[in-house]
Amino acid sequence: MKERNSIWGAGRTLAVLPPIVAFFFQSVFWSGIHPYVWFLFYPAVFFSSWIGGMEGGLIGTGISTVIVWWFFIPPEHSLALKSPMSVLSAGVFVGMGILFSVFHSRLRKANERLETRVRERTAELTAVNASLERQNEERSHTEEQLLLQKTALEAAANAIFITDVKGTILWANPSFVALTGFTMEDTIGRTPRIAQSGKQDKTFYKNLWDTVLEGRVWRGEIVNKKKNGDLYTEEMTITPVRDSNGRITNFIAIKEDISERKQAEDKIRNAEQRYKSTLDHMLEGCQIIGNDWRYLYLNNVADEHNRRPKEELLGKRYMDMWPGIESTNVFAVLRKSLEERVAQSMENEFTFPDGSNGWFELRIYPVPEGIVILSIDITERKQVGERLRESEQRFREMFDDAPVAYHELDAEGRFVKVNKAELSLFGTTAEEVLGEYGWKFTADEIQTRERVLAKLAGTMPPSDGVERTYRRKDGTSIPVVIRDRLLRDRAGKIVGIRTITQDIADLKRAEREIRTLNAELEQRVIERTAQLEAANKELEAFSYSVSHDLRAPLRHIDGFADLLKKQSGASLDEKGQRFLKTIGESAKQMGMLIDDLLVFSRMGRTEMQHETVNTKEIVNSLIERISHDVQGRAIEWVVDGLPNVEGDASMLRLVFQNLLENAVKYSRPREKARIEIGCADKDGAYNFFVGDNGVGFDMRYAHKLFGVFQRLHRLDEFEGTGIGLANVRRIIARHGGTTWAEGAVDKGATIYFSIPKGRKETV
Amino acid sequence: MTELKRILLVEDNPRDVELTLSALEEHNLANEVVVTRDGQEALDYLYRRAQFKMRGAGNPAAILLDLKMPKVDGLEVLRQIKTDANLKTIPVVMLTSSREEKDLVMSYNLGVNAYVVKPVDFSEFVDAVKELGVFWAIINEPPPSSIRATP
C-alpha cells in the first residue's frame, strides 16, 4: 500500500497542472475563446480529477475557479461578480468539477478494487499452479509406485484376486492361475465360486460374506477345488476396499495354498498323536518327570499304578506329591538317573498312602526333558509266585498224605517219588524204593517191565483203571487198580510216568458179595415170577370155572324150579309158588352177578386194542338199541360234540353202555327222562359226561359209586349188580383217564370220565 | 308132519341133558335127538364104534356140543370132526355155559358153525334150545350124508 500512497501523492500534485495549462492556452487564445470563460477549464478539471481523483479534481476545480474568476470574468483581475450569468456559469463549473471529482474518485476506487481482485486471483492462480505442479510431480511418483506395487502383486507367490462388491473377479495375479489352474479367461468376470469344493457349508460362506460386507477383514482356512478337480487347503484373507465415501467397492483376496503345510502339520500332529497314543496305550505305566522334578506326562496305566489321576499330579513336584519319598531307595535311583543321566531299573515295593502295597518293576531312562519312568505292576506276579510256592507246598503235602498210593517213575522207569500210602501199601520204605525200577515190586515182574517201558516209549497208552496184582515186601499179593499219567517236558517228550495205585482188595470182596447177592436176587425173581405166573393161571382157571361150572348149577336150579312149577304148579299153594319164583329169581340174580364179575375180571386182564374209536357212533347205536328195549318210555336224548378218541372200541362201548343203561334205569320214575351225553376238550383230555334227570344220589356216598358190588339203591328199587361203574372206572383207568360223579338226591346224576389225548395205557 | 332130522347132543351133565331135552320136548323136537354123555362117546357114535357099532350109517344133521366134558372135551371133539373128511360137513353148534373169549376164539378157529351160551334163566334157555332145535332139525338143509328120520 505504500506504493499506492506514493502514486496517490503524485496524482494530487499533478492535478494542479491541467488548470495551469488551460490558463496558459486561454490566455493565449483568449480572443478566440472569448466570452466562453469556462470552456477550456472543463477539460482541465476533468483531467485533474482523472489524475488526482477526488482530491485532485477538487484541487483542480478550486484552482480553475480562482483563475477564471480572477483573470477572465469581467471585471478582470477582481473577484467581483457583475452579472448573474457569471455566478451561474461559475456554479455550473464548480458543480461539474465536483461531479468529475466524484466520478473519477469512484472510477478510481472501482479500478483499485478490480486491481486488488486481479492481484488476488493472480496470486491464487499462481498458488494453484504451484500446487498443480506439485501434484503432477506427486502423481508421477504415485504412478511409479503403483506400477511397482502391481509388479509386486503380479510377482507375489500368494494368489491374489480382486473382486467388485458382488464378488465378480476383476483382476487376478499369475499365482492365482498357478495355484488354481484356472486361466485368466476362466477367472476374470467370474466369481470365486468356480473353485468351490463343497467342503464348506452354506453357513461358512454366509459368515464369510457377512464379515466382509460389514467391512471387516475375513481370514480363514478353506478347502477349494482346482480346475483339474484336486482339492487343496488354502489360507485366505479377504480385505474389503472402501472408496472415499466409505462405500465398499472391492474385495481383495489373498490366498495361500497351505495343503502342504497342512499335510506337514498333520504329519507332525499324527506323529505326536501316535507317540502319545502309544504312550497312552502302553501296557506299562509311563511317566515323564522334568528336570525340576515336576510331572510332565502320565499315561493311563501310570494312573492305575499311582492310584491317582494324572490331573492331580501334572505340573506338581514329585516329592510334594509323595511325602516321605525322598528317604526311599526309589527316589535315590530316580535322582541318580536324573542327575547322572543314566538308565536304571529296579523292582520296588511301593507303599501307597492308604497303607496297601504294590510291587512294580521300574525302568528309568534319562531324556532331554528329564526322566522317563516305565512301570510294570508285578504285584500279581509276586503274589502268584507266592501262591505257587504255597500251592507246591500243599501239593507236596497232599502227595505225601493222600490215602491213595502215588509214585513217579523217571524216563528209565526208576522211582523218583513215592508217597507214604504207597510205601505202606507195599510194606516198604522210601530208601528201599527210590532209585529202584518200578517193576521190582510187582507179581509179574517181566511183563510189568515191558509195559512200563512201552508206556515210557509212547508205544502203549497209559493205563487208566487197569487191574493188576502187586506183590508186597512180605510176599503176599494185593489186587490194585492203576491209573497212569505220562509226564512230558515242554517239548512234549515223555520224561516219566506218574501212577495212582489203589488197593482194591476191599472192592474185590464187595464185588464178589454183590455178585452173589445179585445171583440170589435173580433166582428169587425167577421164583417169584413163576409164583405169579402160577397165581395168574389159577386165577384164569378160577374165572373159567366160575364161568362154566358155577353157571351150570344155577341154570339147573332155575330150570328145575321152572319145571317143578310147570309140573306141579297147580298143586302148590300161593306160598309154595312164591318160593319157586324166589328160587328162580335168586338163581338169575346170581347168574347176572357172575356174568358181570367175569366181565369186570376180563376188563382187567384182556389186552387193550389201540384204535380210533368213534364215540358218537357207539353212543348212537346204543341209544337205538336201548330205545328199542324201553319202548313206551319218554326219553329225550341230547347228544353233542362226541369226538373220536384213541382207545379200545369194545371197552369204550361197554363204558357207554353201562352209563346209558344206568341213566335210563335211574330216570325211570320221571315222566319224561332227559339224558345228555357230551364231551368237553379240557387240559389235553376229553372229558365225557352222561347226565340224567333221574333219582340222583347223595354226594356223601359219591366215593362208593365206582366200587365193586357197591350200590346206592336197594335191589327192589333198581335192579343191578353193582359192577357197572366199577367196570367203567377200570376201563377208563386203563385208558389213562379218571372217573367222577356229580349228583344230588332227586336232582339227577352226571357221571364224568376223561380220556387223555396222548395215548397211554395203565394197567 | 314136518320131517325131523337127527340131532346129536353131546352133554356130560345129566341135568343139562334133562333140561335140554325137556326144552326140546316142549316143542316136540326131542324124538330124533341122540344123546352121548361125553366126547369119547360122541366120537364113538360118529365113527360107529363100541356101543354104536351096530347103528345105521349116516351122520347127524347137526351136533349140539358141550365144551367142558370129562375125557375128551368139546374142543377136541370139534377138532376131530372138522379134520375128518367125512364128518367135517356136519354143522356143529357149541352149546355151553362158557362165555370165555378164548373158548369162543378157539371154537371158531376150529370151524364151529354156531356158538350159543346157555342162559341161566330157564325160560331163556328154553327159547334158545327151541330155536336151535327148530333151526337145525327143521329149517336147515343138512349135508347129503345126513340121516333122515324114518317117518
Grid cell for residue A46: 476533468
Give mean pLDDT, residues A684-696. Answer: 91
Contact B97 A555 (CB under 8 A): yes
Residue A477 CA: distances (Å) to CA of A451, A466, A503, A505: 19, 16, 11, 10
Query: Can you give the pLDDT at residue A618?
Result: 92
Q: How many domains does chain A divide into? A: 6
Helical spans, DSSP H, in A630-757 = 649-666, 724-734
Q: Are residues A495 and A508 in the same domain?
A: no
- DSSP one-letter code for A429: -
Asked if residue A129 belongs to a domain, the reply is: no
Residues in chain B, overall count: 151
Residue A551 CA: distances (Å) to CA of A278, A547, A562, A569, B22: 107, 6, 16, 25, 19
Query: Can you give the pLDDT at residue A759?
Result: 54
How many angstroms separate the CA of residue B127 from the nearest CA in chain A? Answer: 12
How many angstroms separate the CA of residue A592 from the nearest CA in chain B? Answer: 8
Q: Are residues A304 and A225 in the same domain?
A: no
Q: For cell 336197594, name the residue.
A: A714
Q: Are residues A160 and A231 in the same domain?
A: yes
Grid cell for residue A20: 495551469
Cβ of A695: how many Cβ atoms within 10 Å? 21
- State the average pLDDT for chain B: 83
Asked if residue A392 belongs to a domain, the reply is: no
Q: Which stretch of DSSP H or E encloses residue A739?
A: strand A739-743
Which value does ipTM take for this structure?
0.73
The per-residue pLDDT for range A35-69, each reduced to its tens digit, is: 788 888 888 888 888 888 888 888 888 888 888 88
How many angstroms separate the CA of residue A602 from the nearest CA in chain B? Answer: 9
Best of A542, A545, A548 to disrupt the B interface by mutation (most B CBs within 10 Å)?
A548
Cβ of A460: how many Cβ atoms within 10 Å? 14
pLDDT at residue A638 greater than cutoff 80: yes
- DSSP one-letter code for B54: T
Residues of A near B (Cβ–Cβ under 8 Å) read: 543-544, 547-549, 551-552, 554-556, 558-563, 584, 587-588, 590-592, 595, 598, 602, 606
Distance CA B3, CA B111 (A): 27
pLDDT at residue A306 greater than cutoff 90: no
Asked if residue A252 belongs to a domain, the reply is: yes
Taking the alpha carbons of A698, A703, A707, A710 in that order, is the dihedral positive or negative?
negative
The per-residue pLDDT for range A437-467, each reduced to its tens digit, is: 888 777 677 777 888 888 888 888 888 888 8
Best of B20, B120, B125, B130 to disrupt the A interface by mutation (most A CBs within 10 Å)?
B120
Distance CA A223, CA A168 (A): 20
Q: Nearest-CA neighbor of A751 among A646, A635, A665, A672? A: A665
Q: Nearest-CA neighbor of A689 among A746, A755, A623, A630? A: A755
The per-residue pLDDT for range A79-133, each reduced to its tens digit, is: 766 777 778 888 888 888 888 888 888 888 888 899 999 999 999 999 989 988 9
Grid cell for residue A669: 320214575
Query: Can you give the pLDDT at residue A655?
Result: 93
- pLDDT band for A519, please (50, 70, 90 cuts): very high
Q: Are residues A624 and A689 in the same domain?
A: yes
Nearest to B123 among A560, A562, A591 (CB): A562
Contact A559 B68 (CB under 8 A): no
Query: Can you give the pLDDT at residue B3?
Result: 59
- A162-166, A281-285, B110-114: range with lowest mean pLDDT: A281-285
> Using an 8 Å Cβ cutoff, are A27 and A70 in contact?
no
pLDDT at residue B104 greater than cutoff 60: yes
> Using an 8 Å Cβ cutoff, are A489 and A495 in contact?
yes
Beta strands in A258-369 (DSSP E): 285-290, 295-298, 344-351, 357-367
Contact A548 B123 (CB under 8 A): no
The verdict on pTM exceeding 0.90 is: no
Q: Are residues A542 and A494 in the same domain?
A: no
Strand partners, A357: A351
Query: Can you give the pLDDT at residue A159?
Result: 85
How many angstroms separate the CA of residue A586 from the nearest CA in chain B? Answer: 10
Contact A551 B123 (CB under 8 A): no
- pLDDT band for A411, please (50, 70, 90 cuts): confident
In chain B, which residue's Cα lies nearest the Cα of A545? B98
Give mean pLDDT, residues A337-347. Answer: 88
Strand partners, A423: none
Distance CA A585, CA A587 (A): 5
Asked if residue A638 belongs to a domain, the reply is: yes
Grid cell for residue A228: 483339474
Asked if residue A397 belongs to a domain, the reply is: no
Query: Can you give the pLDDT at residue A8?
Result: 54
Query: Can you give the pLDDT at residue A515?
Result: 93
Residue A275 CA: distances (Å) to CA of A262, A271, A299, A362: 19, 6, 11, 20
- Does residue A641 come out as left (phi exceeding 0), alpha (psi in the -120 to 50 range) or beta? left
In chain B, which residue's Cα lies nearest the Cα of A542? B100
Q: Nearest-CA neighbor of A721 among A630, A625, A591? A: A591
- Per CB-CB distance under 8 Å, the chain A contacts of B123 are 562
Distance CA B137, CA B149 (A): 10
Taking the alpha carbons of A309, A315, A318, A323 in that order, is the dihedral positive or negative?
negative
The per-residue pLDDT for range A169-221, each reduced to its tens digit, is: 888 888 888 888 888 888 888 888 888 888 888 888 888 888 888 888 898 88
Strand partners, B125: none
How many angstroms separate the CA of residue B12 from the nearest CA in chain A? Answer: 12
∠ CA A365-A371-A374, rounded to 5°: 60
Q: Are residues A529 and A635 in the same domain?
A: no
Query: Can you give the pLDDT at residue A761?
Result: 46
Asked if residue A308 belongs to a domain, the reply is: yes
A423-459 as b/e: b if 16+ CB within 10 A: bebbebeeebbeeebbbbbbeeeeebbebbbebbeee
How many angstroms separate the CA of residue B81 from the nearest CA in chain A? Answer: 23
Percent of chain B residues past pLDDT 90, beyond the cut: 9
Contact A561 B67 (CB under 8 A): no
Percent of chain A residues past pLDDT 90, beyond the cut: 12
Q: What is the CATH number of the domain that holds A328?
A: 3.30.450.20
Q: Residues 6 or more apart from B130 whose CB is under 8 A from it?
A: B23, B24, B26, B27, B29
How many angstroms separate the CA of residue A528 from the nearest CA in chain B? Answer: 26
Domain boundary among A606, A622, A638: A606
Residue B61 CA: distances (Å) to CA of A159, A199, B146, B149: 140, 121, 5, 10
Query: Can you give the pLDDT at residue B4?
Result: 65
> Using an 8 Å Cβ cutoff, are A254 and A159 in contact?
yes
Cβ of A654: how many Cβ atoms within 10 Å? 20
Nearest to B19 among A556, A595, A598 (CB): A556
Q: For cell 495549462, name the residue.
A: A21
Q: What are phi and psi of A460, to 5 degrees?
A: -135, 135
Q: Are residues A330 and A246 in the same domain?
A: no
Q: For cell 349116516, name the residue.
A: B58
Q: Are residues A738 and A612 in the same domain?
A: yes
CA A195 to chain centre: 39
- Per CB-CB distance under 8 Å, the chain A contacts of B121 are 558, 584, 588, 591
Query: Can you give the pLDDT at residue A377?
Result: 85
Distance CA A146, CA A138 (A): 12
Q: Are residues A622 and A639 in the same domain?
A: yes
How many angstroms separate the CA of residue A547 from the nearest CA in chain B? Answer: 5
A537 in helix, strand or coil?
A: helix
Domain boundary among A587, A606, A625: A606
pLDDT at residue B71 greater than cutoff 80: no
Distance CA A315, CA A288 (A): 11
- Per CB-CB distance under 8 Å, the chain B contacts of A595 are 99
A560-569 as b/e: b if 16+ CB within 10 A: bbbbebeeee
B45-81 as b/e: b if 16+ CB within 10 A: bbeeeeebeeeeeebbbbbbbbbbbeebbbbbbbbbb
Most confident by average pLDDT, A65-69, A446-450, A545-549, A662-666: A662-666
Domain boundary among A68, A87, A117: A117
The per-residue pLDDT for range A265-299, each reduced to its tens digit, is: 888 888 888 887 777 777 788 889 998 899 988 88
A640 in helix, strand or coil?
A: strand
The count of CB pairs under 8 A between chains A and B is 65
Q: Does B37 touch chain A (CB under 8 A)?
A: no
For the beta sheet containing A231-242, the strands, ordered from the edge strand earlier in sequence to the opposite edge, are A169-172, A159-164, A248-257, A231-242, A218-225
Q: Residues 6 or more apart from A277 whose CB is under 8 A from it?
A: none
Q: Nearest-CA neighbor of A11 among A58, A62, A66, A49? A: A49
Domains assigned to chain B:
7-139 (3.40.50.2300)
Q: Does B70 touch chain A (CB under 8 A)?
A: no
Q: Are residues A582 and A633 in the same domain?
A: no
- Per CB-CB distance under 8 Å, the chain A contacts of B97 are 547-549, 551-552, 555
Q: For cell 521190582, name the residue.
A: A440
Q: Nearest-CA neighbor of A635 among A598, A606, A670? A: A670
Q: Does B123 touch chain A (CB under 8 A)?
A: yes
pLDDT at residue B82 greater than cutoff 80: yes
Q: Residues 6 or more apart from B135 whose CB is under 8 A from it?
A: none
Query: Can you give the pLDDT at residue A522?
Result: 92
pLDDT at residue B47 greater than cutoff 60: yes
Q: For cell 346157555, name the residue.
A: B118
Q: What are phi and psi of A499, to 5 degrees?
A: -130, 130
Range of the domain at A752: 607-756
Grid cell for residue A340: 547322572
Asked if residue A143 belongs to a domain, the reply is: no
pLDDT at residue A656 greater than cutoff 90: yes
- Does residue A246 come out as left (phi exceeding 0), alpha (psi in the -120 to 50 range) or beta? left
Q: Are residues A245 and A332 in the same domain?
A: no
A77 in helix, strand or coil?
A: coil
- Per CB-CB distance under 8 Å, the chain A contacts of B13 are 552
Contact B120 A587 (CB under 8 A): yes
- pLDDT band for B150, please (50, 70, 90 cuts): very low
Q: Are residues A10 and A50 in the same domain?
A: yes
Asked if residue A132 belongs to a domain, the reply is: no
> Using an 8 Å Cβ cutoff, are B100 and A547 in contact?
yes
CA A359 to chain centre: 38
Q: Does B100 touch chain A (CB under 8 A)?
A: yes
